[in-house]
Structure 1
Amino acid sequence: MSSHAFKFATTIRVRWGDCDAFGHVNNASYLSYFEEARIDYWKAVVPDVPFTGMAIVHASVDFRGQAYPGDVLTIRAAVTELRRTSFWAAYEVLRGDAVMATGRSAQVFFDYASQKPALIPDAFRDRIAAYEGIPLTNAERRTPNAEQTTSNDERTTPNANT
């Protein structure tokens, strides 16, 4: 059981192509399930807030059980931490009440033209914070004259104070 109270969930039916030679969901498929849940989360929580790009800088999965073709899985997703240019998400994959996997990912808002992290847009940050109940400080909000440059450490380290 996760320590996070998830507010968002979506469902996925396990496809044959998600499975490996052992007949259960392949470990790599869980990252795709997390991605599907993230996209559905954005559509539900920030559907009208434009953003140009994100990059995954960390992803981890802890496996708890096995799922099989045809199983209907519930994938819970939540943003658990917001920073200036990045955020952490948590996931939980369930078959019924049984936890199949849990995971985390760190995403960085990214300007692909400059190849540098970008500040999270206030509208995106505010909507997520309100939905998840994450308190924000003024330091975490973008200001009209905010610098959009960061150090190499902030670009490559999800634990950087970004």
Structure 2
Amino acid sequence: MARVLIDLPEHFVFTTELPIYIGHINYGHHLDNAALLSLVSEARVRFFGSLGYTELDVEGVGIVVADAAVQYKSEAFHGETLVFAMTPAEFNKYGCDLVWRVTDKASGREVARGKSGILFFDYQARRPVAVPDGFRIKTAP
């Protein structure tokens, strides 16, 4: 089976820290894969918030997560604090990828990397819309 390989950019425009709570841990006593995606969602909300947006209002339109890919690098455990670095990449007419990397704050150990494909969306018209120029400008390197 082919493996998911995700190349990371040299620079991330946003970072945030999130602790691993006991509810994030699975039967293997490490971070559950579904919990990781939940933490990535929280980091994404914080990323948009840092730009003055919400996921329902980015220059007047919302976003939809169209796809996601994850490449796990190491285990993470209860009590660790994770650093989520995020940046947009691979823009197209209607969206982009939000590329992210997760590391353990104390050791710097990479836990996971991934990308979430986002689509800008008009929730009233129920259709995709072009990437807002303001978003491109605010996230340019």
Q: TM-score range with shorter-chain normalisation? A: 0.7 to 0.9
Distance 2:61 2:26 in 1: 35
Instruction: Give the root-mean-square deviation of aligned CA atoms.
Output: 1.8
Distance 1:3 1:67 in 2: 20
Instruction: Tell me, yes or no, if structure 1 residue 11 matches structure 2 residue 17.
Output: yes
Instruction: Tell me, yes or no, if structure 1 residue 36 matches structure 2 residue 42.
Output: yes
TM-score, normalised to structure 1, is: 0.73
Residue-by-residue CA offset, 1:54-77 (whole Å, 9 max, x unaligned): 111110111111111111111111
Instruction: Tell me, yes or no, if structure 1 residue 47 matches structure 2 residue 52.
Output: yes
Unpaired segments ≥5 residues, structure 1? 134-162
Q: Secondary structure at the match of 1:127?
A: helix
Check whether the contact 1:2–1:92 (CA below 8 A) recurs between aligned residues: no
Matched to 1:9, the amino acid is T
Distance 1:33 1:19 in 2: 12
Higher RCO by CA contacts (8 Å cutoff, separation 6 or greater): 2
Distance 1:81 1:34 in 2: 19
- Per the alignment, residue 111 of structure 2 pairs with 100
Distance 1:74 1:119 in 2: 30
Check whether the contact 1:10–1:40 (CA below 8 A) recurs between aligned residues: yes
* 1:23 pairs with one of 19, 29, 33: 29
Q: Secondary structure at the match of 1:28?
A: helix
Distance 2:34 2:78 in 1: 15
Q: Secondary structure at the match of 1:120?
A: coil
Instruction: Tell me, yes or no, if structure 1 residue 118 matches structure 2 residue 129.
Output: yes
Please say which structure displays the higher CA radius of gyration.
1
Unpaired segments ≥5 residues, structure 2? 1-5
Would you tell me which structure has more helix in proportion to its own residues? 1
Q: Secondary structure at the match of 1:40?
A: helix
Q: In the TM superposition, what is the alpha-carbon distance from 1:126 to its structure 2 partner?
A: 1.6
Matched to 1:123, the amino acid is G
Distance 2:12 2:130 in 1: 25
TM-score, normalised to structure 2, is: 0.82
